[in-house]
């Protein structure tokens, strides 16, 4: 159907600069003492509510993703395994990754928020969408939940954009301190997706060496920038400006998707990089500039890691101010 406003002879409403998708009902996905907890989203929500520059942001909840969309990147067996683990009362899927009785439904909404975000961007209703979701996703492989991740939220949205919405090449920029091994595996042989990651190495999960550059038709479409423990903003930004952004500019994507982890912050307890809130502000500004040059400004950001609550909330709000043009 056409736009109702256009049918009445009126111009369609202008796209909002930034749409934030936020599902506050994640308390059922929790394990005592685990760093990936509901407190993460509560801290971000409180920071947004207290920030007058962000008070007018367009916000939306999320519906569960159709499980068939999960199968765009995951095997049927994997989807069924996570669903069964929740249905049977929950369990640990590995030593780091739990599945509680409500985790499957919450994970469906996390992937659903990312899919809804990319739909809004491609339809022109938003220039950028940021999905504030948990559990995170970038470690989830086609067959395995790991690293706190059940389903690969961003990868699902990328495939929705390509397979259902007609988007061509997409660049993924992963700024989490951990290498997104799941995302890399999903797209490693795919020439239509550029995957770029800046991460600490050696560190979990042990992948992401510079020599990992893609395979088959996807050779050259994976860019890994491993950084040693203790690296600070200068080293991180040098790799970002010298390797990642030039690769994106050469690739000329139609959409940029960001795995937005904030655990490279100096205050984060789970890693040993030394980024600051100002670093994340710079990152957001530079990705926005490159998106304007290559992708008509179209971006999807999805929350990944970040486990110091104050640093996470500060860094996310700093990012959102940039994305909203505040």
156-213 pLDDT, tens per residue?
Answer: 999 999 999 999 999 999 999 999 999 999 999 999 999 999 999 999 999 999 999 9
* Poorest-pLDDT segment among 15-19, 152-156, 254-258: 15-19
Residue 145, SS3? coil
Q: Report the 10 Å Cβ neighbour count for 121.
A: 28
Count the residues in the chain.
326
At 55 the pLDDT is 83
250 vs 14, more confident: 250
Catalytically active residues, by annotation: 139
At 263 the pLDDT is 98
List pLDDT tens digits, range 70-115. 999 999 999 999 999 999 999 999 999 999 999 999 999 999 999 9
Residue 280's nearest CA partner among 133, 170, 177 is 177
Task: Output DSSP code: residue 222.
Answer: E
At 6 the pLDDT is 39
* Poorest-pLDDT segment among 51-65, 204-218, 247-261: 51-65
The Cα 221–Cα 219 span in angstroms is 6
In the structure, what pLDDT confidence band is assigned to residue 326 with cuts at 50, 70 and 90? low
Cis peptide bond N-terminal to 205, omega within 30: yes
The Cα 42–Cα 65 span in angstroms is 22
At 78 the pLDDT is 98
pTM beyond 0.85 = yes
DSSP characters over 64-129: PPPHHHHTTTS-HHHHHHHHHHHHTT-EESSSS-EE-TTHHHHHHHHHHHHHHHHHHHHTTSEEEE
Residue carrying the six token digits 């307890």: 269
Percent of the chain with pLDDT over 70: 95
Burial of 178 (0-12, 13-18, 19+ CB in 10 A): buried
Helix residue ranges per DSSP H, the chain:
4-7, 39-50, 67-70, 76-87, 103-122, 153-163, 181-187, 233-239, 245-251, 277-294, 309-324
For the chain, list the domains and their CATH numbers: 15-324 (3.40.800.20)
Cα separation values, 91 from 39, 74, 94, 140, 293, Å = 21, 20, 9, 17, 46
Radius of gyration of the chain from Cα atoms?
A: 18
Percent of the chain with pLDDT over 90: 93
Residue 273's nearest CA partner among 246, 303, 305, 302 is 305
Instruction: Tell me the average pLDDT of the chain.
Output: 95
At 24 the pLDDT is 83
- Please tell me the number of Cα atoms within 13 Å of 88 on its side-chain side: 9
Q: Is residue 154 within 8 Å of residue 192, measured between CB atoms? A: no
């Amino acid at each position: 159907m056409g736009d109702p406003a256009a049918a009445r002879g009126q111009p369609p409403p202008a796209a909002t600069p930034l749409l934030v998708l936020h599902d506050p009902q994640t308390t059922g996905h929790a394990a005592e003492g685990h760093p990936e907890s509901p407190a993460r989203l509560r801290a971000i929500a409180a920071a947004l509510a207290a920030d007058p520059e962000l008070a007018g942001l367009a916000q939306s909840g999320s519906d569960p993703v159709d499980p068939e969309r999960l199968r765009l990147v995951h095997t049927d067996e994997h989807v069924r395994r996570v669903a069964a683990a929740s249905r049977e009362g929950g369990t640990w899927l590995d030593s780091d990754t739990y599945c509680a009785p409500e985790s499957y439904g919450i994970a469906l909404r996390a992937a659903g928020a990312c899919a809804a975000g990319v739909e809004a961007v491609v339809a022109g209703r938003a220039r950028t969408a940021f999905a504030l979701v948990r559990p995170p996703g970038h470690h989830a492989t086609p067959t395995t939940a790991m690293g706190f991740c059940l389903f690969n939220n961003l990868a699902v949205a990328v495939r929705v954009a390509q397979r259902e919405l007609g988007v061509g090449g997409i660049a993924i920029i992963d700024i989490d301190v951990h290498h997104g091994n799941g995302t890399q595996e999903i797209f490693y042989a795919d020439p239509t997706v550029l995957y770029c990651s800046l991460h600490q190495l050696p560190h979990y999960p042990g992948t992401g060496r510079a020599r990992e550059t893609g395979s088959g038709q996807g050779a050259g479409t994976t860019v890994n920038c491993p950084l040693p423990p203790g690296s600070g903003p200068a080293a991180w930004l040098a790799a970002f400006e010298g390797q990642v952004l030039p690769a994106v500019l050469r690739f000329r994507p139609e959409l940029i998707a960001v795995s937005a982890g904030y655990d490279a912050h100096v205050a984060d307890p789970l890693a040993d990089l030394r980024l600051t809130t100002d670093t994340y502000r710079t990152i957001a500004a530079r990705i926005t500039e490159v998106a304007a040059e290559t992708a008509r400004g179209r971006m999807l950001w999805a929350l990944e890691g970040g486990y110091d609550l104050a640093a996470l909330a500060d860094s996310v709000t700093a990012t959102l101010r940039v994305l909203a043009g505040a």
